[in-house]
Amino acid sequence: MKIAVCDDNLNELELIRTLLDIYKSDSIQTFTVKCFESSVELASTLRFEKFDIYILDIIMPVMDGLTLAKEIRTFDKAAPIIFLTASPEFAVDSYTVKAFNYLLKPVVKERLYSTLDDIIETFHQESTDNIIIKNSTGIHKIHTSGIIYAEALNRKVIIYLKNGEQITSTDVFSSICVTLTAHNEFLLPHRSFIVNMNYIKTINTTEICLINNKSIPLAQRRVSEIKKQYLTFQMEG
């Protein structure tokens, strides 16, 4: 994991570097830190180097931290951005670039460490929510939240995604089912279908209707069990 820190105040920059070194020594997460004294320097680096986390001062000359964050978002839509500033007036603006957090200076180490803990936990959660699917074109990494349903058809498995894409997998349907049912949002209503319950619109005695208006048949001997599983999922959510 790589962290970029940008602050034109050298004392503040050194403080953040020191706090990160202490955090790393007490953490099982390994990472490297690269410090930038200029927002323009970091912006030019983005063209050939990406970082997993950005820690940015907001008030900087030539290019302020908010403008720098917008530049980062043109290359990376998802990397967590932590803003640092002595003034709370920019807090609302920080959310326009989907900042992960906003820390006031002088930085309190407990708040910085808590924010880093939350980010790393999010990284771990995202990694466990991705599945690997193989097909004739190669290997695809898919986030489970983007899967609406999968269907076994003619010895192949077709996975239907929220973005409208369809991926035809060469994996065995039972293997995909084992992988997906490890996540509590997936339901097996029929021997040929597995469904993400977040996309169910209605369930009746014969079928499930999904939000894309696709109808999925129910195994008649399991209707009561299927409805109970869906109800439990809704109550837990």
Position 237 scores a pLDDT of 60
Please check whether residues 146 and 70 belong to one and the same domain: no
Cβ neighbour number for residue 202 with a 10 Å cutoff: 10
Please check whether residues 8 and 84 belong to one and the same domain: yes
> pLDDT under 50 in the chain at which residues?
none
Looking at 105, 128, 151, the residue that finishes a domain is 128
Position 196 scores a pLDDT of 96
> For 44-51, which contacts have Cβ atoms below 8 Å and span 24 or more sequence positions?
45/4, 46/71, 46/72, 46/75, 46/76, 47/75, 50/2, 50/75, 50/76, 50/79, 51/2, 51/3, 51/4, 51/79
End-to-end Cα distance, the chain: 32
Please check whether residues 23 and 60 belong to one and the same domain: yes
Please check whether residues 53 and 95 belong to one and the same domain: yes
- Domain total of the chain: 2
| Residue 58 CB burial class (10 angstroms; 0-12, 13-18, ≥19) | buried
- Domain span at residue 77 reads 2-128
Please check whether residues 113 and 180 belong to one and the same domain: no
Please check whether residues 116 and 165 belong to one and the same domain: no
Q: What's the CATH number where 13 sits?
A: 3.40.50.2300
Position 77 scores a pLDDT of 79
Please check whether residues 29 and 99 belong to one and the same domain: yes
Report d(CA 18, CA 34) in Å as an integer: 12
Q: What is the pTM of this model?
A: 0.58
Please check whether residues 14 and 123 belong to one and the same domain: yes
Please check whether residues 24 and 96 belong to one and the same domain: yes
Q: What's the CATH number where 145 sits?
A: 2.40.50.1020
Please check whether residues 18 and 117 belong to one and the same domain: yes
Per the CB < 8 A criterion, the answer to whether 46 and 71 are in contact is yes
What is the full DSSP assignment across 10-58? HHHHHHHHHHHHHHHHT-S---EEEEES-HHHHHHHTTT---SEEEEES
> For 172-181, which contacts have Cβ atoms below 8 Å and span 24 or more sequence positions?
176/133, 176/150, 179/131, 180/131, 180/144, 180/147, 180/150
Position 78 scores a pLDDT of 80
Looking at 75, 102, 128, the residue that finishes a domain is 128
Position 138 scores a pLDDT of 80
Position 3 scores a pLDDT of 97
